[in-house]
Amino acid sequence: MIPVQGYEGRKVAVLGLGRSGLATARALLAGGAEPLLWDDSPESRAKAEAEGFSCTDLTRAQAFDGVAALITSPGIPHLYPAPNKVIARAYEAGVPVDNDIGLFFRSFATPDWDNFETAPRVVCVTGSNGKSTTTALIHHILEVAGRPTQMAGNIGRGVLDIDPAVDGEVVVLELSSYQTDLARALTPDVAVFTNLSPDHLDRHNGMGGYFAAKRRLFAEGGPDRAVIGVDEVEGRYLAGQLAEGAADDRVIRISSGTKLEEFAWSVFARKGFLAEWRRGKQVASIDLRGVAGLPGAHNHQNACAAYAACRSLGVGPKLIEQAFHSFAGLPHRSQTVGEKAGVRFVNDSKATNVDSAAKALQAFPRIRWIAGGMGKDGGIKALVPHLGSVAKAYLIGHSARDFALELGATPYEICETMERAVAAATRDAQAGEVVLLAPAAASFDQYPNFEKRGEDFTARVQALIG
């Protein structure tokens, strides 16, 4: 646990009692604060009270009298489409609003660090797609390199739930736009921006607000090193804003598909090969084509981001290459869950939007595609240019028939359930093909979350192939 500093003897309100909220309450208590907890859910309040915490109705008048700060969970809107009523009341009372990420950055460093030979460092990863894989890959590389490391944030443990740092440790955090948007302190040593595509636009009042939330990670504290994906205009803008010019090696530009030879430091992947360039010279190269845990151009971009971050921490190319080959990938993200008679089964249940599904569809040459669920605005029309590798689509869920109308000439079968889709795709698949779950839709019509959807796919596959 990271005890929260700066609130000793003061009342601090905590709104939202999920994983991060309860971890925040414990860390505040450990730091000597008096946490006042609230959640609209009686079950969540009962769980907190069972731990010995006091719940205070923050919706009542004068609820913020004598309160030093309100700490809110990331899923609760604080500005758009409208502030939560408790947060609005805090604004009216002039009470600062923060989240657990802000508390982490104000509390992570301690006087114990004065005795360390090497100061601990924090690497933060944000972006639209690939955050989790990049974060986990950086953490894995550091483990292979023998560096003490912890992983937290939007993946793994809550940031205040991790252990106090040891000498030379590197903490790797995945941060969503919900987390970066509100944090009052953001001071990573290394910050990574993977890419940007439309998502959470209602929460950020449009694409500009969404990008602004991501940009805060780089603008608020100013990392020592910034790793920036420049395959979209926003990434090129961000790199240009941070760098003093092409010769500034504090910014490492990364790309999947574009040569970046004219900059002081860049890492890019083309035709399955990762290349690192420093001041006009190639200094390292890795063949990614045989790395099973990182299939496709989108994962090659993740590899470039993780490689650049770890190189900035002093890890050598050979160690990084070794770690790539032992990286198993993350559940529900281009995860191979079985293989039989030359047919590979891949679970990419995390591909909940068109952009991430497009990347999955470009990763394999011949696909039996399981898609559908609770479709998002715009449907899947934008995927039509990426369907050339799809032998047949097997459609499930609420939007199955809507998706069928948007597939053009691609053969399809309305399966409705995962059980029938896996059975049909397995029946049709031939050696050399991939049965791919990449839904391009939310899961909430049939599953509580994308993880449960991916687990169902995995269970169906394993039951069929033995």
pLDDT in tens, 385-413: 999 999 999 999 999 999 999 999 999 99
Q: How confident is the model at residue 94 (pLDDT cuts 50, 70, 90)?
A: very high
Fold topology of 104-326: UDP-N-acetylmuramoyl-L-alanine:D-glutamate ligase (3.40.1190)
Is there a contact between 373 and 387 (Cβ–Cβ < 8 Å)?
no
Q: Is the pLDDT score of 198 beyond 90?
A: no
Q: Report yes or no: 103 and 160 within 8 Å, Cβ to Cβ.
A: yes
pLDDT category, 329, cuts 50, 70, 90?
confident
330/29: higher pLDDT: 29
Q: Is residue 261 predicted with pLDDT exceeding 90?
A: yes
Pairing of strands 190-193, 390-396: unpaired
* pLDDT for the residue numbered 129: 87
Backbone angles phi, psi at 253, to 5 degrees: -85, 140
Q: What does the radius of gyration of the chain's CA atoms come to, in whole angstroms?
A: 23
Judge whether residue 35 has pLDDT over 90: yes
pLDDT at residue 400, rounded to an integer: 97
- Summarised one tens digit per residue, pLDDT across range 2-22 is 999 999 999 999 999 988 999
- Return binding residues for ATP: 127-133
First-to-last CA distance in the chain?
42
The sign of the CA dihedral 34, 184, 119, 138 is: positive
- pLDDT (tens digit per residue) in 124-165: 999 998 999 999 999 999 999 999 999 999 898 999 999 999
The answer to whether the Cα torsion of 443, 445, 446, 452 is positive or negative is: positive
| Residues of the chain above pLDDT 90, percent | 90
Query: Does residue 364 contact residue 388 with C-beta atoms inside 8 Å?
Result: no
Is the pLDDT reported for residue 199 higher than 90? Answer: no
Check residue 86 and give its pLDDT.
97
- 11-98 is classed in which CATH architecture? 3-Layer(aba) Sandwich (3.40)
Partnered with residue 190 across adjacent β-strands are 123, 225
Answering whether pTM is above 0.95, one says: no
Give strand ranges (E) for 190-293: 190-193, 225-229, 251-256, 265-270, 273-278, 281-287
Averaged pLDDT, 332-340 = 92
Q: Is the pLDDT of residue 466 over 90?
A: no
Mean pLDDT of 336-360: 93
Q: Which amino acid is present at 118? A: T
CA distance 37 to 15: 6
* CATH class of the domain comprising 335-465: alpha beta
Residue-range domain boundaries for the chain: 11-98, 104-326, 335-465
Q: What is the pLDDT of residue 37?
A: 97
Binding residues: 127-133
**Across 444-451, average pLDDT:** 95
Residues above pLDDT 70, as percent of the chain: 100
Closest CA to 106 of 68, 136, 80: 68
Q: Is the pLDDT of residue 429 over 90?
A: yes
Phi then psi dihedrals of residue 218, to 5 deg = -100, -25
- Per the listing, tokens 């390292």 go with 284
Q: pLDDT digits over 209-238, tens only?
A: 999 999 999 998 889 999 999 999 999 999
- Look at residue 356 and tell me whether its pLDDT is greater than 90: no
Residue range 330-340: mean pLDDT, rounded: 91
User: DSSP 3-state assignment of 408?
Assistant: coil
Would the CATH topology of 11-98 be identical to that of 335-465? no
